[in-house]
């Protein structure tokens, strides 16, 4: 019986290792710094997308402040200045364009404009929901916004679904590659631990008790 118990433990650990292989090595600080810088540059040059939410605040004209959504054609209807073809621009260019158009009417009124991505977070998280997040938000940030991985969640089973294609991001807590970039309409799914992983301690305890009873009965 002890042999059976040993085989079960080894097999369980082997299955876990095969499914989620360990990284070859920790990323060097310099390399990680370069990855973060690249992610920041991508965020600065990101394009406005259909589904994005635009938060507009006109400081001296509060009645013109509004929150609107970029439609499927990539257009957004803003108060006073009308339709803007937002998806043809980077976020920075879009912000400058809106400010320039408002300047034709209000020469001394500061304007704030923030573009937010629409991200659905589902699966084994504590607060699954749809979140609107800044373009600089990382995969790690949005999972934290959803309350983090739940107790039955598998931290090694995080997937981003985009346009029907699922991409698994193993090192999502430290990943700054394009795999962790978020776009409006993305679904972030955190998988659940297998039944064996969730109940391993209970199973091993039961086997230990059974093994002890069998040994005692044979004496």
CATH of the domain at 185: 3.10.560.10
190-212 per-residue burial string, b: 16 or more CB within 10 A, e: under 16: bbebeeeeeebeebeeebeeeee
Q: Which of 86, 109, 132 is the last residue of a domain?
A: 109
User: 66 and 37 share a domain?
Assistant: no
In a domain, 152, yes or no: yes
User: What is the predicted pLDDT for the residue at 85?
Assistant: 94
In a domain, 62, yes or no: yes
In a domain, 142, yes or no: yes
What kind and span of H or E run contains 32?
A: helix 29-44
User: What is the predicted pLDDT for the residue at 147?
Assistant: 97
User: 137 and 39 share a domain?
Assistant: yes
Q: Residue 17 — pLDDT band, cuts 50, 70, 90?
A: very low
3-state secondary structure of 111: strand
Percent of the chain scoring above 90 in pLDDT:
51
User: 100 and 164 share a domain?
Assistant: no
In a domain, 147, yes or no: yes
Q: Residue 209 — pLDDT band, cuts 50, 70, 90?
A: low
Q: Residue 21 — pLDDT band, cuts 50, 70, 90?
A: very low
Q: Residue 29 — pLDDT band, cuts 50, 70, 90?
A: low
In a domain, 23, yes or no: no
User: What is the predicted pLDDT for the residue at 178?
Assistant: 83
pLDDT tens, 155-189?
A: 999 999 999 999 999 889 988 888 888 999 999 99
How many CA within 13 A on the CB side of residue 154?
A: 19
The alpha carbon torsion through 54, 118, 182, 82 (nearest 10 deg) reads -30
Report the distance separating Cα 41 and Cα 30, nearest Å.
17
Report the distance separating Cα 140 and Cα 143, nearest Å.
5
Q: What's the mean per-residue pLDDT of the chain?
A: 81
Of 32-46, 171-185, 186-200, give the range with the top mean pLDDT: 171-185
Report the distance separating Cα 140 and Cα 148, nearest Å.
9
User: 142 and 163 share a domain?
Assistant: yes
Report the distance separating Cα 187 and Cα 41, nearest Å.
23
User: 138 and 33 share a domain?
Assistant: yes
Higher pLDDT, 205 or 145: 145
Q: Residue 82 — pLDDT band, cuts 50, 70, 90?
A: very high
- Which residues, other chains included, contact 146 with Cβ-Cβ below 8 Å and sequence gap of 6+? 121, 125, 126, 127, 128, 129, 131, 188
User: 156 and 105 share a domain?
Assistant: no
User: 164 and 185 share a domain?
Assistant: yes
In a domain, 202, yes or no: no
Q: Residue 11 — pLDDT band, cuts 50, 70, 90?
A: very low
User: 74 and 105 share a domain?
Assistant: yes
3-state secondary structure of 214: helix
In a domain, 155, yes or no: yes
User: What is the predicted pLDDT for the residue at 207?
Assistant: 64
Q: Find the domain containing 192 and state its range.
A: 2-13+29-44+118-196
User: 168 and 73 share a domain?
Assistant: no
User: 78 and 132 share a domain?
Assistant: no
């Amino acid at each position: 019986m002890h042999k059976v118990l040993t085989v079960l433990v080894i097999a369980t650990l082997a299955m876990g290792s095969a499914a989620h292989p360990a990284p070859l090595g920790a990323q060097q600080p310099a390399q990680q710094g370069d990855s973060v810088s690249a992610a920041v540059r991508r965020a600065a040059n990101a394009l406005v997308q259909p589904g994005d939410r635009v938060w507009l605040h006109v400081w001296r004209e509060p009645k013109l402040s509004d929150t609107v959504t970029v439609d499927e054609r990539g257009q957004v209807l803003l108060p006073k200045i009308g339709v803007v073809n937002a998806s043809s621009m980077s976020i920075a260019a879009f912000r400058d364009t809106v400010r320039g158009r408002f300047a034709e009417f209000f020469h001394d009124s500061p304007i704030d404009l923030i573009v937010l991505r629409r991200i659905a977070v589902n699966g084994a998280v504590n607060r699954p929901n749809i979140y609107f997040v800044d373009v600089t938000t990382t995969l790690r940030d949005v999972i934290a916004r959803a309350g983090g991985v739940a107790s039955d969640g598998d931290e090694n089973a995080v997937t981003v679904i985009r346009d029907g294609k699922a991409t698994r991001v193993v090192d999502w807590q430290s990943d700054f590659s394009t795999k962790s970039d978020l776009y409006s309409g993305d679904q972030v799914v955190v998988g659940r631990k297998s039944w064996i992983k969730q109940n391993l301690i209970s199973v091993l305890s039961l086997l230990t008790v059974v093994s002890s009873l069998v040994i005692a009965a044979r004496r």
